[in-house]
Each structure stands twice: as structure tokens, then as C-alpha cells.
Amino acid sequence: MKKRSIKNTRINEEVLRELSNIIRGEVKDPRVSSLTSVVAVEVAPDLKTAKAYISVLGDEEAQAKTLEGLKSSSGFIRHKLAQNVNLRNTPEITFVMDQSIEYGVRMSHLIDEVNKENSDD
């Protein structure tokens, strides 16, 4: 099976949607920030593993605590995912911190500063 097949893309989207709902509505761990979003999900073609890229609005401490909370809740999240998504195998989820949104905001601020300095000249 190709890595980027239509079936795999649909599974990734469905798992992303359900994972977002589970983290937002059902995970009660106080370490998990309410400003957590699932940016992308990559499910392996054999459906055994999945990488969930998450973004947390906040400082590095909030990000670390959220990642720790999600890792400790991974069994519960996997169980809920199995109930909500009909897959042959429910993937074991690995949570990865995604810094792309934060990087984009920082670059935008830097560009604004440069434009402001140039307009002052």
C-alpha cells in the first residue's frame, strides 16, 4: 500500500477529528491545557502506530505539562478512539509537540518589526 493513499489520508483526517474531540472534551487531566490543538496526525499504513502533532498556546512549561499529561492519558485516549473510530487496529499514539504555529507567529512579529524600522527611515 502506498504511503499517501486516499484511504490513509481519510484515516488520518478521521483520527485527527476524533482525537481533537477527545482531548477537548473528555481528558480530565489538569496538566493538559485547554488551549491544546491537534495540528496533524500520521497513522502508519499498518494501523499499529500514529504520531499526533499537537500545539499548545502558552509558555514552555505549559507545553511540557500538556505533553506529560497526554502521554499519561494515552491509554484512555486510545480506548475512546477505539470506541469512536471503526478501525481494524487502534493505533498506539505518540504525541509530538509541533512548534510550527509558534514559529509562524514569531516570524510574523519579526517581519512587522523590520517593516516598522524601514518605514521610520
pTM as predicted: 0.77
End-to-end CA distance of the chain: 58
The whole-chain average pLDDT of the chain stands at 88
Task: Tell me the per-residue pLDDT of 47-98, one tens digit each, with 9 for 90 and over.
Answer: 899 999 998 888 889 889 999 999 999 999 999 999 999 888 899 999 999 8
Q: Are 50 and 43 in contact (CB under 8 A)?
A: yes
DSSP character for 97? E
Confidence band, pLDDT 50/70/90 cuts, at residue 1: very low
Distance CA 78, CA 47 (A): 13
Question: In the numeric block, which cell numbers belong to residue 8?
Answer: 490513509
HSE-CB for 82 with a 13 A CA cutoff: 13
Burial (CB count <10 Å: 0-12, 13-18, 19+), residue 69:
buried
The residue type of 95 is: F
